[in-house]
Amino acid sequence: MSPIRLILVAHHERNEARIHAEVVAGWCRDLGVDFWMPVHDSAELEMAEHGSDRPAAEADVVVSLGGDGTMLRSVEMLGGHEVPLIGINLGSLGYLTEVEPDTMTDFLDRFVLGSEAGEWHLDTRMMLDVAVNGALVGRALNEAVVEKNQSGHTVRLLARIDGHPFTHYEADGLIVSTPTGSTAYSLSARGPIVSPQHRAILLTPVSPHMLFDRSLVLSPNEVVEIEVAGHRRADVAVDGQPCSVLEPGDVVRCSPSAATANFVRFGAYRYHQILKSKFGLPDR
């Protein structure tokens, strides 16, 4: 039987990251797990001996050591391949990570060695395919954002839903998000909070200069197109990463992806309790 293949994606700027990465590397060595890290991660953490340019999609599991940002980077590295991800939390309370560093080897044992039903399960999240003028530029777990290119100005954007014009927005931008992304940028723009167990597409304006300022919660099968309708340029970013500068007339298309993100959970995932803790909500 071939050894389990594990890639570790690690945060670069937390002092404890190298310590915990070394623990994961040692655990892999002891169990005969085929272990590697992205070259840049291994160099930043001074663990170059573990660096490899092998694609993440070759792994049987991705271990993400950091916060939600590192989880997003891990998903992006998979390029749509549905490899399970285990999130080890090095930040504050995160929405995507689950395992704490002091228990991570116990949970890795449960994933690799667990033989009983219920040791772990997959939490499957929808994603969006994001294309500019017909060319795929990324897959969003959280959101795609079309926003103004120049400070001090709004941008004029035409939103179309399933090919039909909805309205023009004079705004700082438009956010097209998944339920997972409803607690990210969309939330700061006063968008709704949607359970990640749902499948839906959210369209949320950013600082609109118009009377209509509400988010739309759309079917997961609908397609949102955003055209730069004015004379000013715009930018498009996917999960916080800049993708392209848009000229007037350019179109960003956001559609439900066939790919999903698959997070390993070792018990009931209490999304609402995480939300409650994040906002410091009392019991009553």
Residues marked as catalytic: 68
The Cα 142–Cα 275 span in angstroms is 16
SS3 48: helix
DSSP letter for each residue of 170-236:
EESEEEEE-SGGGGTHHHHTTPPP--TTS--EEEEEES-SSS----EEE-TT--EEEEE-SSS-EEE
Q: Which residues contact residue 192 at a Cβ distance below 8 angstroms, ignoring those fewer than 6 apart?
A: 182, 186, 202, 215, 217
Q: Is the dihedral of CA 162, 163, 165, 167 positive or negative?
A: positive
Q: Which two tokens stand for residue 270?
A: 């209490």
The Cα 126–Cα 142 span in angstroms is 9
17-31 and 104-113 are packed helices; what angle lies between their axes, rounded to 10 degrees?
30
Q: Which two tokens stand for residue 30?
A: 């002891």
Name the nearest CA neighbour of 123 among 282, 260, 276, 280.
260
Name the nearest CA neighbour of 261 among 114, 97, 84.
84
Q: Which two tokens stand for residue 202?
A: 């959210």
